[in-house]
Chain A
Amino acid sequence: MNKSRYSNGMLFVGGSILLSSLAQLFMKAGMLALHDNNLFLSLPRTAGNFGMILPVLTWVLGGLICYGASLLCWMRALAQYELSLAYPLLSMNYVLVYIGAATWPRLNETISITRTAGILLIFLGVLIVARTDTSPTDSL
Chain B
Amino acid sequence: MDYLLILLSVLFTTGGQLLQKISATKVAAMPAKAHFLKSVFRQSETWWAVTCLAAGMVLWLVILYRMEVSKAFPFLSIGFVLVILVSRYHLNEAVSVTRWLGVALICSGIVLISLS
Contact = CB atoms under 8 A, between A and B. Distances in A.
A23 to B, nearest CB: 10
Contacts of A125: 77, 80, 102-107, 109
A31 interface: yes
Given A60-B61, A129-B99, A114 B112 contact: yes
A124 B68 CA distance: 22
Contacts, number: 139
A36 B22 CA distance: 41
B95 A97 contact: no
Given A121-B108, A122-B77, A97 B70 contact: yes
A27 B72 CA distance: 12
Contact of A137 (B95, B106, B115): B95
A122 B69 contact: no
Contacts of B25: none
Interface residues of A, number: 46
B113 A115 contact: yes
Contacts of A136: 96-97
B109 A120 contact: yes
Interface string A70-84: 000000000000000
Given A27-B69, A125-B103, A125-B104, 7 more contacts: A30-B64, A98-B74, A115-B70, A115-B71, A118-B108, A121-B108, A138-B96
Interface of B: 57, 60-62, 64-66, 68-71, 73-74, 77, 80-81, 84, 88, 92, 94-113, 115-116
17 contacts: A24-B73, A25-B69, A27-B64, A31-B64, A97-B73, A101-B70, A102-B70, A107-B68, A110-B71, A112-B116, A115-B116, A118-B112, A119-B113, A125-B80, A125-B106, A128-B105, A137-B95
Interface of A: 24-25, 27-28, 30-31, 34-35, 39, 60, 64, 93-94, 97-98, 101-102, 107, 109-110, 112, 114-115, 117-131, 133-140
